[in-house]
Structure 1
Amino acid sequence: MAFANENGKILEFLELVGRLKHVKRTGWVLCDIEDCESIAGHMYRMGMMTFLLTDKNNTTHLDVFRCLKIALVHDLAECIVGDLTPHCGVTPEEKHRREDEAMKKIAELTGFAGDRMYELYKEYENQTTPEAKFAKDLDRYDMILQAFEYEKREKAPRKLQEFFTATEGKFNHPFIQSLVEELYKQREDFENTCVVNGHI
């Protein structure tokens, strides 16, 4: 009977996580981006980026598997509280309180696994390890990469400049810094092409 009750809680957890597949990222919704990404899509690509760490570019010897786990957990609370941004009228303190409460609820549903997820979430929130700092770089990089993809799709260079401005100078890991540099170069080329073709 206890086993059945435990499985019931796991099912509830999985249903909560499933919400992330359908909740759109608030920043894109506020910018009137049609068919924008979900929270789960954002977390998935962050997770995939951890596979790009190699002996050559992982100069700080990050624990790659830990980076992956943090990437997959960092926005998990949003399955309960939603994607809260500074534009939502919620203070950073209140946002943190709501997300922490949500993560505790999630942890209660999954026992030891939940405890581990909660620890990873706190590690990310408090930026206490190199892996958490790297995940923050991934979070910011995925955001500007997505912004650039929307600009290209809509042939609207610099439409989403606010996301680039918000992250400028905030990338720390050398590998991510090199990807940012390449992204900026491609974005400039895209803008120049749009000028030549009369899109702006």
Structure 2
Amino acid sequence: MAVNAPNHCTHPLCRPLPPRLRLAFFNRAFSCRPTSPNEAPDPRIVSVRSQKHGSDGFGSLKPAVEPESLMGSSPPSAIDFLTLCQRLKTTKRKGWVNHEIKDPESIADHMYRMSLMALIAGDLRGVNRERCIKIAIVHDLAEAIVGDITPSDGVPKEEKSRREQAALEEMCNVLGGGMRAEEIKELWTEYENNASLEANLVKDFDKVEMILQALEYEKEHGKVLDEFFLSTAGKFQTELGKSWAAEIISRRNSRLSDNLN
């Protein structure tokens, strides 16, 4: 048998508020307090009031216009920048080309595995791992324009750095400037100057990735690529870099020993 429900709950917390209290609560909740003639309106309120009402009559509480600081590059600038970066996928690493490695890795291949190194590295005291990933992604970005300049090209270190910095500036201009372009320049400069613990670690990853690739090419093509191992010997700065390099060297020595027997 149905029982008629009361008009409202009799619990004290469920009783309706008096009209004056309801208005005060509404004004506080939606920041709709009146302003004096000389008082500037709260920009947050203007932003909310500028929205079109939705089907529920209240509309979205998002600002009418996103702050410029939160916006990325424009679509045309972003696509132009990414199109320029496509060269990183097609430009082969010069060291392997010089050694006549068939179908050698690209610059992007090298950067990608370095990024994975930063991703899987254990937590190290004082090291921001996410920043390491970002540095690994951008450290060879300028090579999309200048190519992979190696010691065999005879370009002085200072000139190489000048060319790459100019190329990076050009790429950031293509991106349209702004916060993301400034971040890229900051990360690249940090790496170039070896100016942080993160840069130290990524510098090590750069060498580790190279000797690991050298070992893989030795196995695949039956070559001996001593120069890549000799050029990095004693130059690792971090304990992680040293331990990974030692593992690669150990595997190489075992393989060379097996080949002699």
Instruction: Say which is worse superposed, 79-88 or 41-50, in terms of deviation.
Output: 79-88
Equivalent residue for 1:41?
109
Structure 1 residue 84 displacement after superposition: 0.6
Structure number having the greater helix percentage: 1
Gapped regions of structure 1 (runs ≥ 5): none
Q: Which TM-score applies when normalising by structure 2? A: 0.69
AA aligned to 1:79 is A
Rounded to whole Å, the distance in 2 between the matches of 1:15 and 1:176 is: 33
Equivalent residue for 1:97?
162
Structure 1 residue 163 displacement after superposition: 0.7
Matched, 1:72 2:140: no
- 8 Å CA contact 1:78, 1:99 repeated in 2: yes
Matched, 1:27 2:95: yes
Rounded to whole Å, the distance in 2 between the matches of 1:8 and 1:76 is: 19
Of residues 211, 215, 235, the one that matches 1:148 is 215
Of residues 99, 104, 122, the one that matches 2:189 is 122
Q: How many residues align?
A: 188
Q: What's the CA shift string for 1:87-119, capped at 9, x where partnerless?
A: 113221211111000111111122221111011
Which of 1 and 2 has greater Rg?
A: 2
CA RMSD in angstroms comes to: 1.5
Of residues 199, 205, 224, the one that matches 1:138 is 205
Q: What's the CA shift string for 1:103-145, capped at 9, x where partnerless?
A: 1111112222111101100000011110011110000110011
Equivalent residue for 1:53?
121
Rounded to whole Å, the distance in 2 between the matches of 1:133 and 1:12 is: 31
State the structure with bigger RCO (CA 8 A, min sep 6), 1 or 2: 1
Structure 1 residue 77 displacement after superposition: 0.1
Rounded to whole Å, the distance in 1 between the matches of 2:128 and 2:240 is: 15
Percent identity, aligned pairs only, is 44
Rounded to whole Å, the distance in 2 between the matches of 1:62 and 1:17 is: 28
Matched, 1:182 2:247: yes
